[in-house]
Structure 1
């Protein structure tokens, strides 16, 4: 059983600002509550093929994994995937204009929690949604306060 969670938020900042900030891996620990550190495995800036290692704390477990950027259209979408760790995952960001100086952002996480019990999958999906919604609210707060 796979997890497929999509969350979205409206941010009162221009799409270029929201996309630039949220797609920069160096900013991830500022707005993802569970991400503790980021380490570039390939040279900056982010581009297709870039590899970035993340260390996270989720459901009481320490998770270490490396994402590879699969698709990147600045200001439009970012798709990255990790096949490592206990939770192989694909994460996608999407941005679109939502009125004057506003951005609609979506964040999708999908994958199979390989090292977790199948019975735990629905609970993990709820935890992923809760965490993702909280992260997007934090991102909104950071960006709107800077505006």
Structure 2
């Protein structure tokens, strides 16, 4: 069973600021509560082909995986994929301006879990949705308080 989780939030900051901060994978540990670290395998800044090692904790497990940027449209969209491990995943961010001082950000995670992860996919989706909503709220608070 596929997992496809879509969450979004309105952030009271300009598009360039939100996309610039959230679209830099090096900032992920600051606003994703489950991500411990990001180590660049390629030279920043982010570009198509950039690769980063992520270490995260999710559902009580430590996860280590490598993301590769497969699509980047500045100030609009970023897509990263990982193919290794029991849960190949695609994470995408999309940004759109809502006036001059606000941005709508969409976070989407989708993948095809296998083995035990495949059996637990419905529970994973619920946990991912809850975590993503918390992370987007954390991002919103972080950016809106940095005036």
Task: Judge same fold: TM > 0.5, yes or no.
Answer: yes
TM-score by length of 2: 0.97
Return the offset for 1:117.
Answer: 4.2
Question: Structure 1: 5+ residue runs without aligned partners?
Answer: none
Q: TM-score if structure 1 supplies the norm length? A: 0.97
Unaligned runs of 5+ in 2: none
1:140 corresponds to:
140
For 1:2 and 1:116, locate their aligned partners in 2 and report how far apart those are by CA, in whole Å: 13
Aligned-CA RMSD value: 0.9
* Residue pairs, 1:49-128, within 5 angstroms: 49-128=49-128
Measure the CA separation in 1 of the matches of 2:118 and 2:82: 20
2:14 is the counterpart of 1:14: yes
Please say if residues 112 and 118 of structure 2, whose CA atoms lie closer than 8 Å, have aligned partners that are also in contact: no
User: After the TM superposition, which segments of 4 or more aligned residues of structure 1 sit over 4 Å from their partners?
Assistant: none
CA shift digits 1:26-80 (9 cap, x unpaired): 1100000000010001111110000011000000000000000000111100001
Q: Give aligned pairs, total.
A: 147
Provide closer, same or farther for how the CA distance between residues 41 and 129 of structure 1 changes in structure 2, counting only shifts above 3 A.
same
Residue 9 of structure 1, CA deviation: 0.1
